[in-house]
Structure 1
């Protein structure tokens, strides 16, 4: 093989690798799946499912998530340490959700304006059901059962 053939082969290889990389990046931006497999970050690959370890990570059953006083009526609160969002659409009615957007796995950023909000791509979810109210997310937030024990909100 002469030098010119070697250079051409290297150029072709590099151009092909660049094209594959560009296609991969573009494909990831248009999906409802979380970015990547989650293995490098320890995140659950499907943000709509419970952790595969049965809840042995933060947010496991029986854990006190926060105080009732932390969750305003008609709104909600984010409990990042437990990867949870707890809402109270009407007085005394509490709902728990996994605090990860179902579009691409971004953490939920706020509960405001009557919805649960992801700041990454603008998805908004209903306070009472976690159903998407504004895309790009098309799947609801994963429900997590919570109960009230005294002044505490507890993951059931």
Structure 2
């Protein structure tokens, strides 16, 4: 038989279901919200992509580089992490064209998946966006994904 906690804290089996679910929701949602709220370097609350390109495995790593062009499949895309904690969805409609979108679904802010068969899909409620333009194809989202200006510079994708 397990020992009772001596700290006066309830065990997880004694916690109300609502407390556990609220804790989980905060853990999943708050990191992005806290990062946006705590970033005082930009007047927009941290929603502006970093020009440094980030140093994560999914980001560029070289100053100003978002991604090598070769890392973005033609007709597909990939999510890249930025040094400020934000992400961008880079899509490659054609060999020499790359577009970037804020990957937050315009319905409830859940990160969307990279395009598959020309469609960007939100995994939470099934909203669909055009893989080339970010335009809404199917709700519940009613607004397109927000485009971020990028350009191809040699063999890399950088902010425009």
Give 1:29's aligned residue: none
Give 1:86's aligned residue: 90
TM-score by length of 2: 0.61
Give 2:44's aligned residue: 52
Higher RCO, 1 or 2 (CA under 8 Å, sep at least 6)?
Answer: 1
User: What's the C-alpha RMSD, in Å, of the aligned pairs?
Assistant: 2.9
Larger C-alpha radius of gyration, 1 or 2?
1
Provide structure 1 residue ranges, at least 5 long, that are not aligned to the other structure.
1-34
Structure 1 residue 136: deviation in Å?
A: 1.0
- Structure 1 or 2: larger helix share? 1
Residues 68 and 152, structure 1, Cα contact 8 Å, conserved in 2: yes
Distance 1:79 1:108 in 2: 12
Residues 79 and 51 from structure 1, CA distance in 2 versus in 1: closer, same or farther, beyond 3 angstroms? Answer: farther
Give 1:75's aligned residue: 76
Distance 2:140 2:105 in 1: 10
TM-score by length of 1: 0.62
Counterpart selection for 1:151 from 133, 150, 155: 155
Runs of 4+ in 1 over 2 A off after TM superposition: 39-45, 53-56
Residues 107 and 130 from structure 1, CA distance in 2 versus in 1: closer, same or farther, beyond 3 angstroms? Answer: same
